[in-house]
Structure 1
Amino acid sequence: MSSNLINSINGPVVTIKGPTDLTMQEMVYVGSKKLIGEVISISAERTTIQVYETTTGLRVGEEIIGTGAPLSATLGPGIISNIFDGIERPLEDIEKTDGAFIGTGSSIPSLDPERKWDVTIKVSVGDELRGGDIYATCPETPLIEHRCMVPPNLSGRVSAVMTNGQYTVNDCVVKLVDKDGVEHELTLCQKWPIRVERPILKRMPIERPLITGQRVIDTMFPIAKGGTAAIPGGFGTGKTMTQHQLAKWCDADIIVYVGCGERGNEMTQVLKEFSELIDPKSGQKLTARTVLIANTSNMPVAAREASIYTGITLAEYYRDMGYHVAIMADSTSRWAEALREISGRLEEMPAEEGFPAYLPSRISQFYERAGYTVSLNGAEGSVTIIGAVSPQGSDFSEPVTQNTKRFVRCFWALDKSLAYARHYPAINWNTSYSEYVDTLNRWYSANVGREFMADRQRIATLLHEENDLMEIVKLIGSDVLPDDQKLVIETAKVIRVGFLQQNAYHAEDTYVPLEKQLGMMKVILYLYDQCAAMIKKGHAISAILETGIFGEVVKIKYDVPNSKLEMLDDYYTKIDQALAAVI
C-alpha cells in the first residue's frame, strides 16, 4: 500500500502527512477518480498538492499516485481550431462523453489519437539532427502547416524513416540514435512542462510593429511583434471587444485566446463568435489559425492559474516553427485572484490587498516569455502578449494593474466615460502610452512614410493641448479663449471623432491600412495649418466653422474606401475651396 495518502482537503489544496517520494512540481493523480494535481510544496512534515479539478467527493485516506513528470502540455497537430480547458483537455470531446459539464477525473487525451494526418518526412537515414530540427510536416489547417520538431533536449543520427503517408499523432515516423547508442522514436507529438520556457537560439531586437488596423493603436500607441501590452479597464469598457478586433485583424499568423476566469455566458459568446468569424486575409474561418483556451469562473480555481501557462506554452511551440503568434489573456486579474485564493488556503503571509507576495514575480515571468526570437532550427518567430486587466471599480492603483504596468511596455488604458459615450476603442489618449514608438520609428519611416512619426507627434501634441485647454473651459467657459486656442479644440475634436474613434461594424472602418492612417493625419494637419494661417490674418474661427469643412473631414473614415486612397487628395481641394469662400 502506498504511503502517499490524503491527510487533509481544503478546497483545491490537498496535503500528505510525513515524507513522500514525490518531487517538486510533479504531476500527480489524486484519489480514486485520478484527479489531476501538482506538487507545490514539500517539507519533512507534509507535502502540499493543488488539484486542477473539483475536489467534491474526495475523502481523507485516498491514494495519491505520482507520474514522475511535471505538468506538461501535449504539443502536436490538432491544437489549432481546438477548444481546451485550463489544463489542455479538449472541451468538445469531453462534451460528447460527459455532457455540458466537465466530469471529474476525465482522462480524454489532448490530441485526437485516432485522427490521421497527411505527413511528409523531411529527413533521410544518416542525417544528423539536433533539438528543434524539423523532421516532418503536415497540413494542420488550410492556413497552418504543422512542423514536427526534434525535442530540444534530444540529438542524434537518423536510423530509420517511414514513408510519406497518413499517421496518427502517436505513430513513429522517424527513429533517432543518440550519442550513447540509445534509439528514440519520434512521433508527431511531444510533451513540454508548461511552467518552463522553451529554449531558443537567441533573442532578436524588437523593431517591427504588430499591425492591427486600429488607428489609435497603430498610430498613437503601437505594439511591436514580440512585445507586451496591457489593456486595463473596468466592467463594460470594451476589453474583450478590443481583443476580438486585435485577434481578427492583427498580422500575427496564429492567435491563442485564453479566457481566464471570465463569466460563462461571455466565454460562450466568444467561442460562438470565433467559430463564425471569417479571416479577412484568407477567406477561411478564423478558427483555422486560432487556439481557444476556455476557463470560466465556475471551473476549478487552480486550473485558472494553470491556463495562462498552458496558453503561453502553445504559443512558444508555434513560435519555434517560425510563426508569429499573438496571445490574448482575458483576464490576468482573474488569474491573480486564483493565486490569491490558493495562497490563502496555503496560509501564506498576504501582501497588498491579500495578494501573495510573489504576485509581481509571477506576472513578470509570464510577460517575459514574449519576444522576437530565432529558434533552435534557425527560424524567426515571435510571441506577442496582450493581457487584459480588470481592476475593480476601474481603480488603476490596485496591485495587479500596477505590477502589470511595471513589466509591459504598452499600456492601453480603457476609459469608462469614453465607453459610455460610445467612443470605441475606449482607449484614453491621455493616460495610455507605448514605449515602442522610438524603436519602431525606423520601420515606419522605411515602410509607410518618412513623415509618419512626425505627423503622429503633432496629432499627440494637439490632443494634449486640448486637454490643458479643457481645464480652463470647465472653469470659465470657451468664449474667453482666443481664436487660435478655439481652433486647437475644434481640430482635436476632429482627431477624436474622425481618427481615434473607430467603428468595428463598418466595412471600411473596421480595419484601416497604415497608408490610409497617414493620409488621414495629413488631411487633418493640413486643415489645422490652413485655418491657423487664416486666423493669423484676422479671420474669425466662427466663420470657418460655418463652412462645415470640419464635419467633412470627420467623414473621411467612412467616405474614402481603403482601396481608393487617391480620393484623399480631393480633401485638400475641399479645404482650400471652403476657406476661399470665407475670404
Structure 2
Amino acid sequence: MSETAKITGINGPVVYVKGKQQFRVAEMVLVGKQNLVGEVISLQKGMTTIQVFEETTGLRPGDEVTSTGSAISVTLAPGIISNIFDGIQRPLSEVAKQSGAFISRGVNIPSLDEKRLFQTHITVAPGELVYGGKVIAEVPETPAITHKVMVPPHVEGKVISVVSDGEYTIKDTIVVIKDRDGKEINLTMTQEWPIRISRPIGKRFPASMPLVTGQRILDSLFPLAKGGTAAIPGGFGTGKTMTQHQLAKWSDADIIVYIGCGERGNEMTEVLEDFSKLVDPKSGNLLLDRTVLIANTSNMPVAAREASIYTGITLAEYYRDMGYHVAIMADSTSRWAEALRELSGRLEEMPAEEGFPAYLASRLSSFYERAGYVQNLNGSEGSVSIIGAVSPQGGDFSEPVTQNTKRFVRCFFALDKSLAYARHFPAIQWLTSYSEYLNDLAPWYAKNVGNNFMDYRNEILRILTEESKLNEIVKLIGSDVLPDDQKLTLEIARVIRLGFIQQNAYHASDTYVPLPKQMKMMEVILYLYEKAKSLVEMNMPMSLLRENPIFDHVISMKYDVGNEELAKFDTYKTEIDKFYQHFIETNA
C-alpha cells in the first residue's frame, strides 16, 4: 500500500516533507497532482528531502507526495537499441507525440513499447535448471543486435513450462520456473533494475586488449583498453564531441551508448540527426541499429541530468551481461558535475572547491568504476568502456572536475585549442596526454600487430618530445643556429605531426586506419629518419636534404595508400633508399 505525505517546502527541484513518514532513501516517489517523478535523497528526524526530476513550477505546500515502494529504475527489455531517451528513460519520440517539441510535466508513458511484437526463439527446455544471467530466449532486436533475454540476477529454479517460438510482447510470460521454495515465477522479457546499483558479475579481468578506434594518435600512441576508462578534456571548440563521434562510429565496440548530458539543445539535435543518417561501416546497416541515445540537454530539469549517466551505464551493463562489448560516450561529465553543484547548493550543503560538493570525487569514481572487462554470471565475457568528455571553463585543466577525473581514469586525451585553431585534428596534445594501459596491452600488440609496434611507438613519441624542447630554443635564438642533427629531428617531427598524427575524418582512406597500416606508416617514417640521420652523420647539410621531395611524399602516404594496400609501403622504402643513394653518390 502506497504512503502519502504533504509537501511543506519547495526550493527549485528540491521538495521537503515534514513529519514521520515511511519513505526510504533512494525510493522513487510521485509528487503533486501531476505525479512528477522524484527520488528521496535524505531522511532526517521529522524531515524528508526529495529531488524532483521535472520542473516544479506550480507545486505548492499541501500537495501530496506518494511513495512507490521501489527505487529509480530502468526497464530492460528488447526495444532499447536505436531508441532515444531522456535522463530517466522516457522515450522522446513517444513524448513528442503526446506533448509536442517540449516535454510536458507528469508525462507517464512506458519506457519501451509494450505492444510491439518480437520474434522470439526460446533457448531453454522444461526440466532445465536456470539461474541469474542464464539466456532463456533470443530476439533479433535490430539487424545488428540479437537481444538475449536473461533470467534476472538472484533468481534461480527449474523450468516447468515454456512457450513455443513465435511473436510475443515484452510483457508476455515466456518461461515459468519453480524456485527452491516451490514458488512459481513467471519470466517475461522485461527486467527492472535500479540505476544507482551496478549489475552483478562473475569476475573482473585485467586489461588485455585494446578498444581499436582507427584513430592513429589513440591506437598507436595512447591506446584505450576494452573495459577501460578515458577522459577527453578540452575547452570550447576543441573537438570533444567530434572526437566522440569518431569513436562511436569506428571503435570495435558492439554497442554504443551516447549520453548527451547537459549539452546545448541545438548541438544535441545535430547529434541525433547525424546518428540517424550514419551508416555503420562494419555492417552496412544504420549506425543507430547498435546505438542507444540519452538526451538530457541544458534546458531540461537539472536533477534528471544528474540521473542520466546512471541510466546510461545501467543500460550498458545490461548489454554487457549478454556478452557484448559496450562503449559509453558521456558528453559531458562537467555538465553532470554542475548539476550536482546546483542540487548541493539547494540542499545547503557545505561547498568544497569552486562550489562543487565535497562528494564530487566519490560520485565520479562510482561512475567510472562501473567500467570493466568481466566474466558475466552466464559465463560469457563482455565489457563496458567509458569515454567521458570534460568541459573545463576556459580550458583550465586545474579545475576540480578535470583533476578529480584524472584520479579515476587511465587514459587522458587532452585537447589543445591551439591545435584546434590551427585546424590540426584530432586536436589531442601528445605532450600532455597519456595512457596507463601501455604495459597491459603490449603483449596483445606484439602478438596481433608486430613485435616492433611498441618500439616504434616509443620512438615516435621520443622524437615529438625532443621537438618540443628544441622549439623552446628556436623561439629564443632561431633555428639557423641548431646543428643539423637537431634540424633533422624538427623535420621528422613535422612529418610525424602532418603525416601520422593529423587525420582527415572526411577522407575515405584516412578517417579509419587499421592497426597494420598504422604500424607500416610508423615504420616508413622511422626508416626515413634512420637514413637521413646516416647522411647527417656524414656531414651532409640538412638544408640540401630538406630540398628533396621525399619528406612531403612520406607525409602524403596517409592518402595515397589504401587501407588494404600495405604492399605499397615497400615502394616508399625503395624511394627512401634511392634518396639515400643519391646523396651518397653526390658526396662521393
| Bucket of the pairwise TM-score, normalised by the shorter protein | over 0.9
> Would the aligned equivalents of 1:445 and 1:451 in 2 still touch at CA under 8 Å?
yes
Deviation at 1:3, TM superposition (A): 5.3
Kindly report which structure 2 residues correspond to 1:88-103, keeping only aligned pairs within 5 A, or say none. 88-103=89-104
Q: CA–CA distance in 1 between the matches of 2:159 and 2:93? A: 37
Q: CA–CA distance in 2 between the matches of 1:126 and 1:36? A: 42
Deviation at 1:572, TM superposition (A): 0.8
> Would the aligned equivalents of 1:74 and 1:110 in 2 still touch at CA under 8 Å?
yes
Q: Which amino acid aligns with 2:461?
A: A
Kindly report which structure 2 residues correspond to 1:334-349, keeping only aligned pairs within 5 A, or say none. 334-349=335-350
Match of 2:366 in 1: 365
Q: CA–CA distance in 2 between the matches of 1:46 and 1:301? A: 23
Q: Secondary structure at the match of 1:4?
A: strand
Q: Which amino acid aligns with 1:410?
A: C
> Would the aligned equivalents of 2:3 and 2:67 in 1 still touch at CA under 8 Å?
no
Q: CA–CA distance in 2 between the matches of 1:38 and 1:513? A: 46
Q: CA–CA distance in 1 between the matches of 2:306 and 2:295? A: 12
Q: Which amino acid aligns with 1:162?
A: V
> Would the aligned equivalents of 1:425 and 1:501 in 2 still touch at CA under 8 Å?
yes
Q: CA–CA distance in 2 between the matches of 1:187 and 1:69? A: 19
Deviation at 1:128, TM superposition (A): 0.8
Q: Which amino acid aligns with 1:436?
A: Y
Match of 1:287 in 2: 288
Q: Secondary structure at the match of 1:387?
A: strand
Q: CA–CA distance in 2 between the matches of 1:497 and 1:461? A: 16
> Would the aligned equivalents of 2:296 and 2:304 in 1 still touch at CA under 8 Å?
yes
Q: Which amino acid aligns with 2:37?
A: I
Q: Which amino acid aligns with 1:552?
A: H
What residue ranges of structure 2 are gaps of 5+ in the alignment? Answer: none
Q: Which amino acid aligns with 1:69?
A: S
Q: Secondary structure at the match of 1:307?
A: helix
Is 1:331–2:332 an aligned residue pair? yes
Deviation at 1:106, TM superposition (A): 0.5
How far does the alpha carbon of each residue in 1:215-262 deviate from its partner, in whole angstroms, 9 at most, with x for none?
000000000000000000000000000000000000000000000000
Match of 2:166 in 1: 165
> Would the aligned equivalents of 1:143 and 1:288 in 2 still touch at CA under 8 Å?
yes
Q: CA–CA distance in 2 between the matches of 1:169 and 1:546? A: 69
TM, length-normalised to structure 2: 0.98
Match of 2:449 in 1: 448
> Would the aligned equivalents of 2:4 and 2:67 in 1 still touch at CA under 8 Å?
no
Q: CA–CA distance in 1 between the matches of 2:204 and 2:308? A: 25
Match of 2:118 in 1: 117
Of 178-187 and 444-453, the range deviating more from structure 2: 178-187
Q: Secondary structure at the match of 2:262?
A: strand
How far does the alpha carbon of each residue in 1:95-128 deviate from its partner, in whole angstroms, 9 at most, with x for none?
1111000110111101101100000111111111
What residue ranges of structure 1 are gaps of 5+ in the alignment? Answer: none
Kindly report which structure 2 residues correspond to 1:37-436, keeping only aligned pairs within 5 A, or say none. 37-436=38-437
Deviation at 1:580, TM superposition (A): 2.9
> Would the aligned equivalents of 2:4 and 2:66 in 1 still touch at CA under 8 Å?
no
How far does the alpha carbon of each residue in 1:266-292 deviate from its partner, in whole angstroms, 9 at most, with x for none?
000000000000000000000000000
> Would the aligned equivalents of 2:159 and 2:176 in 1 still touch at CA under 8 Å?
yes
Deviation at 1:183, TM superposition (A): 1.2
Deviation at 1:2, TM superposition (A): 6.2
Identity of aligned residues (%): 65
Q: CA–CA distance in 2 between the matches of 1:342 and 1:222? A: 36
Q: CA–CA distance in 1 between the matches of 2:322 and 2:114? A: 22
Q: Which amino acid aligns with 2:454?
A: M
Match of 1:540 in 2: 541
Deviation at 1:45, TM superposition (A): 2.2
Relative to structure 1, the CA distance from residue 2 to residue 460 in structure 2 (aligned partners, 3 Å threshold; closer, same or farther) is closer
Q: Which amino acid aligns with 1:370?
A: A
TM, length-normalised to structure 1: 0.99
Deviation at 1:480, TM superposition (A): 0.5
Match of 2:474 in 1: 473
Q: CA–CA distance in 2 between the matches of 1:328 and 1:531? A: 43
Match of 1:459 in 2: 460
Q: Secondary structure at the match of 2:5?
A: coil
Match of 2:25 in 1: 24
> Would the aligned equivalents of 1:209 and 1:222 in 2 still touch at CA under 8 Å?
yes
Q: CA–CA distance in 2 between the matches of 1:152 and 1:221? A: 36
Match of 1:488 in 2: 489
Relative to structure 1, the CA distance from residue 415 to residue 65 in structure 2 (aligned partners, 3 Å threshold; closer, same or farther) is same
Deviation at 1:296, TM superposition (A): 0.3
> Would the aligned equivalents of 1:19 and 1:43 in 2 still touch at CA under 8 Å?
no
Q: CA–CA distance in 1 between the matches of 2:139 and 2:55? A: 37
Is 1:571–2:572 an aligned residue pair? yes
Q: CA–CA distance in 2 between the matches of 1:309 and 1:30? A: 22
Relative to structure 1, the CA distance from residue 318 to residue 2 in structure 2 (aligned partners, 3 Å threshold; closer, same or farther) is closer
Q: CA–CA distance in 2 between the matches of 1:372 and 1:516? A: 27
Q: CA–CA distance in 2 between the matches of 1:580 and 1:403? A: 54
Q: CA–CA distance in 2 between the matches of 1:305 and 1:48? A: 16
